[in-house]
Amino acid sequence: MLGLGLASCSAEAQLLGKPAKRAPLPKGIELVFNHSDTSRYRSPITGQWRQGDDLEAFVLASIQQAKREILVAVQELSLPKVAEALVARHREGLTVKVVLENTYSTPWSEENPIGLAPHKRNRHHQLEVLGWGDAVAILQRAGVPLIDDTADGSAGSGLMHHKFMVVDRAVVVTGSANFTPSCIHGDPGGNPGGDPGSNRSRGNVNHLLRLHSSALASSFVAEFERMWGDGPGGQSDSRFGLAKGGGAAQRALVGQTPVMVLFAPHRRKDPNQGLGLLEKLLLGTRKKLDLALFVLSEQGLADAMARLQERGVKIRLLADPGFANRAFSEVLDLLGIQLPDHHCGLEAGNRPWQKPLDGVGTPRLASGDKLHHKLAVIDNRTVITGSFNWSPSAAHQNDETLLVFDSPQLAEHFSAEINRLWKGAELGLTPRLQRKIERQRLNCGSGVQRGITQGSTTQTNTTGG
């Protein structure tokens, strides 16, 4: 069985270094943040010590201690050490299965960068500069069973956006992080052949949980098996996206901590769909709501927060700088702003707040790094996390995980992370946003009101988040 504390597992302690003392976590739960200011590790990109927990080491420790089976469902896996660890366990006779998003299931070393979209060409360049090897190719050469979300005979779901691993049907590793250098350690700097450590990047701001619960693991195994079908056997019995049939949230205990897990997507009229669950949880807030979100693009959730504001609830929202100022972002609503898109269109049904929220901020991050959490803490007790961005795409198109914990003890740790990000954040109408507003006014005037297009609800699926 895996140790329940970072200091209790000597192998992992060596991987993670010597973290500073932290408040205790609930029994059966381990939690790491790659931008933490209470720990440090040596970056494999720069070779220098840096603040944060080593999320890759956290994953490797779980793989190393498996005894029978490892099931991996992640949007992207491009860490060769993780691939090599999976291969080693596969060769030792353990059952190892991997599900990836189809955009990332081809070895990057076999791609021609000239024909790639800009964001994929940038990814290719970064992995090439690192020179760490090709994780997917390593898995394929060793014969590790691997499929993607086209295994059902379709072109793929919106995104296979899960970020989870199940070990021995007893332990779940999950959170906001893909198994990639940019999601965990940071992006390399320099040009091809240049110094990988010349960038200040510390990676997208992420966390991972390790949850010791056979009951919870069984729910994740069932989700994995729906997607897996017969694996690479050629029968189109895998199920992704809406073909999985939705389903209600499931409840389990991790130690004594109640947890609820919902697997997306659902049809819009399905009463079990994730945005409806989020809205219900938000409206139950009594005093305080803290959020750290990569994406907020659902009008109903912004409207629910407006009702909380009217009731006197204290709201703090940290948003990713790259997404906060996009025309479809509901963060603009909270700031009392309506911004035309690049075609000068205004989203129908948009409701900018009459009383803008003071507690809106974007954290200061190194160029290229993103605030990648999908996190809320309600009344210092309820924690919402997972792979589920707060968007229609997550609810109705993508394969996603939405987790809800009832634990003041766990909430304390996530609140500390939000407090850390809040220090030094740019609040309200930032100079960057003001410049964008002025540019759009010059280009579009007041804009043209129109309906919500398909593109406006799916833009979050182009980011690899």
> Cis omega before residue 265 (within 30°)?
yes
Phi, psi for residue 332 in degrees, rounded to 5: -65, -35
Q: What is the pLDDT of residue 464?
A: 56
How confident is residue 453, by pLDDT bands cut at 50, 70 and 90? very low
Q: What is the mean pLDDT of the chain?
A: 90
Per-residue pLDDT tens over the stretch 54-64: 999 999 999 99
Q: What is the pLDDT of residue 449?
A: 61
CA atoms within 13 A of residue 95's CA, in its CB half-sphere: 9
pLDDT at 6 over 70: no
pTM here is 0.91
Poorest-confidence range of 20-34, 40-54, 155-169, 180-194?
A: 180-194
Q: What is the pLDDT of residue 170?
A: 98
pLDDT at 322 over 70: yes
Tokens of 294: 């990569």
Structure-model confidence comparison of residues 175 and 193, the more confident one:
175
Tokens of 45: 């990109």
Element (H, E) at 315: strand 314-319
Poorest-confidence range of 146-155, 215-224, 305-314, 444-453?
A: 444-453
pLDDT at 101 over 90: yes
Tokens of 99: 């599900």
Q: What is the pLDDT of residue 18?
A: 53
- Separation of alpha carbons 13 and 61, rounded Å: 9
Q: What is the pLDDT of residue 443?
A: 84
Please identify which residue in the block is written with the tokens 């360049």. Answer: 125
DSSP 160: B
Question: 3-class SS at 416?
Answer: helix
Across 9-20, average pLDDT = 48
Across 162-190, average pLDDT = 94
**How remote is the C-alpha of 340 from its chain's centroid?**
28
Q: How many residues would you count in the chain?
A: 465
- Separation of alpha carbons 359 and 115, rounded Å: 43
How confident is residue 1, by pLDDT bands cut at 50, 70 and 90? very low
Please identify which residue in the block is written with the tokens 């410049």. Answer: 435
pLDDT at 198 over 80: no
pLDDT at 460 over 60: no
Structure-model confidence comparison of residues 238 and 21, the more confident one:
238
DSSP 3: -
Q: What is the pLDDT of residue 20?
A: 55
Across 57-82, average pLDDT = 98
Tokens of 199: 């960038």
Q: What is the pLDDT of residue 13?
A: 46
pLDDT at 227 over 70: yes
Q: What is the pLDDT of residue 432?
A: 84
Q: What is the pLDDT of residue 444?
A: 86
pLDDT at 312 over 50: yes
Across 267-282, average pLDDT = 97
3-class SS shares of the chain: helix, strand, coil, % to 5: 35, 20, 45
Across 31-50, average pLDDT = 96
Q: In this structure, are strands 314-319 and 448-450 parallel, antiparallel, or unpaired?
A: unpaired
Question: Exposure pattern of 305-341 as b/e (b: 16+ CB <10 Å)?
Answer: bbebbeeebebbbbbbbbbbbbbbbbbbbbbebbbbb
- Separation of alpha carbons 75 and 58, rounded Å: 18
Across 433-460, average pLDDT = 67
Across 405-422, average pLDDT = 98
Identify the burial level of 191 via C-beta atoms within 10 angstroms of its C-beta, where 0-12 means exposed, 13-18 middle and 19 or more buried. Answer: exposed
Across 37-63, average pLDDT = 96
Structure-model confidence comparison of residues 424 and 31, the more confident one:
31
Q: In this structure, are strands 345-347 and 448-450 parallel, antiparallel, or unpaired?
A: parallel
**One-character DSSP codes across 289-303:** EEEEES-B--HHHHH
pLDDT at 357 over 90: yes
Per-residue pLDDT tens over the stretch 247-270: 999 999 999 999 999 999 999 999
Q: What is the pLDDT of residue 454?
A: 40
CB of 31 closer than 8 Å to CB of 25: yes
Tokens of 109: 């070393």
- Separation of alpha carbons 39 and 53, rounded Å: 6
